[in-house]
Amino acid sequence: LSPFPRPAVQEATSSALSLTQRPRRNRKADWSRRLVRENILTVDDLIWPIFLAEGASGRQAVSSMPGVERLTVGEAVREAERAAALRIPAIALFPNTDPSLRDERGSEALNSRNLVCRAVREIKRAVPQIGIITDVALDPYTSHGHDGVMDGERILNDESVSVLVGQALLQAEAGADIIAPSDMMDGRVGAIRVALDAAGFQDVQIMAYAAKYASAFYGPFRDAVGTNATLVGDKRTYQMDPGNSDEALREVALDLDEGADMVMVKPGLPYLDIVQRVKETFAVPTFAYQVSGEYAMIEAAAANGWIDGDKVMMESLLAFKRAGADGILTYFAPRVAEKLKALG
Ligand code: PBG
């Protein structure tokens, strides 16, 4: 019997594999994982969508989007200040138009004193350093909730584009930095570009919702802007079929040809394959929208204690970066910015 008991470690060594490659070596410590990390999320990647409502003061909760509120113009100015202080580069504005102002043709979109135009002017004056993105589409203004002008059951393309051009011009006049057409009418990017240039707005950018799908993930957004109850039918004659992928490249190619400065894919996480194809094919600034339904799913599961909401929030946004997105529109933006700031 040996006086030296055999150390357990020797046992382990004897079963050691003779591996040249051990990918786990790079993961052994936090410093090493940080060193080899390929993609990171920063505050510069964030665009914060904000809902607006009429009124002198106050905030209204959006029940299907816990933590998200509709803001009056005054509150929106305060939130824009907070966003700028957090170094969030840009905000995107969406109005909940008073039902009495909605009609068949979406006329309120052509009112230079509408909710969005007023908010743009006020935010621009108070917080000139933040980028302001405005949505071009008629759904918050039409009684039927469609993004364009309707004739019977049809959404008229060219007639819609002429209204959208007017809407875009008013937004630019109010001070919008980026015009974001989300309506999916054919030819609207080109028409808006020509009109902006003719009016002297050469520096106003266009972020095209280029590959926007007819998705069920927009439900909570439609609650927020008040179109869920009124929407007649669905949007499948203008938004893309979720089964298509090559078609997204065609839509992006057209919007770039027509003068888009940046393109967007929407929804986000379920369409990361599209984000990746678009970025690899065109190598232009490519954004993704983590839409309301994605936000709601994460929040609902977190509220039930089924997932760690903060961790899933951060991981989901990092996934957009890995797919090639240059930035993400996300309702989590201020929460993420606070978190990134705390992490240093
Ligand atoms: C409307 C518009 C929608 C969204 C952004 N702009 C809804 C729709 O197309 O019905 C959805 C955003 C979200 O779900 O967060 N043109």
Q: Which helix (H) or strand (E) holds 296?
A: helix 292-303
Question: Which atom of ligand 1 lies closest to the CA of 137?
Answer: 16
Mutate which of 65, 147, 213, 295 for ligand 1? The one with the most ligand atoms within 8 Å of its CB, which is 147
Give the per-residue pLDDT at 1.
61
Give the per-residue pLDDT at 230.
83
The answer to whether the beta carbons of residues 41 and 340 sit under 8 Å apart is yes
Q: Is 287 in the pocket of ligand 1 (CB under 6 A)?
A: no
Give the per-residue pLDDT at 14.
75
* 2: pLDDT strictly greater than 70: no
Give the per-residue pLDDT at 228.
85
CA 237 to centroid of ligand 1, rounded, Å: 15
- Annotated binding residue 251: yes
Mean pLDDT of 87-116: 97
> How many angstroms separate the CA atoms of 77 and 82, rounded?
9
- Residue-wise pLDDT tens digits, 299-324: 999 999 999 999 999 999 999 999 99
Q: Is 294 in the pocket of ligand 1 (CB under 6 A)?
A: no
CA 149 to centroid of ligand 1, rounded, Å: 17
**Structure tokens given for 53:** 């409502």
Give the per-residue pLDDT at 56.
77
* pLDDT band, very low/low/confident/very high, at 229 (cuts 50, 70, 90): confident
Among the listed residues 109, 101, 92, 96, the one whose alpha carbon sits nearest the alpha carbon of residue 61: 96
Angle at which helix 246-257 crosses helix 272-282, to 10 degrees, equals 50
Give the per-residue pLDDT at 61.
95
- Residue-wise pLDDT tens digits, 57-99: 789 999 999 999 999 999 999 999 999 999 999 999 999 999 9
Nearest CA to ligand 1 atom 12: 291
Among the listed residues 154, 272, 170, the one whose alpha carbon sits nearest the alpha carbon of residue 211: 272
Mean pLDDT of 136-155: 96
Give the per-residue pLDDT at 238.
97
* pLDDT band, very low/low/confident/very high, at 8 (cuts 50, 70, 90): low
* 12: pLDDT strictly greater than 60: no
Among the listed residues 134, 32, 125, the one whose alpha carbon sits nearest the alpha carbon of residue 93: 134
Q: Is 155 in the pocket of ligand 1 (CB under 6 A)?
A: no
The answer to whether the beta carbons of residues 333 and 289 sit under 8 Å apart is no
Catalytic residue among 124, 235, 266, 311: 266
- Residue-wise pLDDT tens digits, 162-190: 999 999 999 999 999 999 999 999 999 99
Give the per-residue pLDDT at 6.
65
Nearest CA to ligand 1 atom 6: 182
- Average pLDDT of the chain, as a whole number: 95
Respond yes or no: is residue 212 known to be catalytic.
yes
> How many angstroms separate the CA atoms of 344 and 333, rounded?
16
In the chain, what percentage of residues exceed pLDDT 70? 96
Catalytic residue among 212, 235, 279, 321: 212
DSSP-assigned states of every residue in 139-202: TTTBTT--SSEEETTEEEHHHHHHHHHHHHHHHHHHT-SEEEE-S--TTHHHHHHHHHHHTT-T
CA 153 to centroid of ligand 1, rounded, Å: 20
Q: Which residues contact 226 (CB under 8 A, 6 or more apart)?
A: 96, 97, 99, 140
Mutate which of 221, 287, 297, 328 for ligand 1? The one with the most ligand atoms within 8 Å of its CB, which is 221
Structural domains in the chain plus CATH codes: 40-343 (3.20.20.70)
Question: Which atom of ligand 1 lies closest to the CA of 147?
Answer: 16
Give the per-residue pLDDT at 10.
54
Give the per-residue pLDDT at 13.
61
Q: Is 224 in the pocket of ligand 1 (CB under 6 A)?
A: no
Nearest CA to ligand 1 atom 14: 218
Residue 18 vs residue 1, higher pLDDT: 18
CA 236 to centroid of ligand 1, rounded, Å: 13
Q: What is the dihedral of CA 58, 64, 66, 67, to 10 degrees?
A: -40
CA 292 to centroid of ligand 1, rounded, Å: 8
